[in-house]
Amino acid sequence: MTCACQINGYYGVMNWVRSSVALCLVLLFSMATLSAQEQSPTVEHRYARIYLDNPGQMAAVDSSLVIAQQKLERLLRDTMNYRPDLYVVGDAERFDQLIGGKFPDWGAAAAIPTRGRIVIKSPDRFVIQKSLSELVAHEYSHLALADRLGIREAPRWLDEGIAMYVAAEWGWSQNLAMSKAAIFRQFITLSDIDRVNRFTAGKAEVAYAQSYLAVKYFVDQYGLDALTILLDDIASGKRLDSALMRSTGSNLDAFEIEYHEYLTQRYNLTSFLMDTFWLWIFLAFVVVIGGFMKYRRRRQYYKKWEEQERLESTDFQYGKGRAEEVDPDEDDEPWRR
Residue 273 confidence class, pLDDT cut points 50, 70, 90: low
Residue 72 has what pLDDT? 95
173 compared with 118, residue with greater pLDDT: 118
DSSP string, 161-185: HHHHHHHT---HHHHHHHHHHHHTT
Mean pLDDT, residues 133-161 = 96
pLDDT score of 144 more than 60: yes
State phi, psi for 86 to the nearest 5 degrees.
-125, 120
Amino acid letter at 285?
F
pLDDT score of 39 more than 80: no
- Mean pLDDT, the chain, as a whole number? 80
pTM over 0.95: no
pLDDT in tens, 275-289: 554 444 545 556 667
Other CB atoms closer than 10 Å to residue 266's CB: what's the count?
Answer: 14
Residue 107 confidence class, pLDDT cut points 50, 70, 90: confident
pLDDT score of 261 more than 80: yes
| CA proximity to 250, closest of 226, 279, 215 | 226
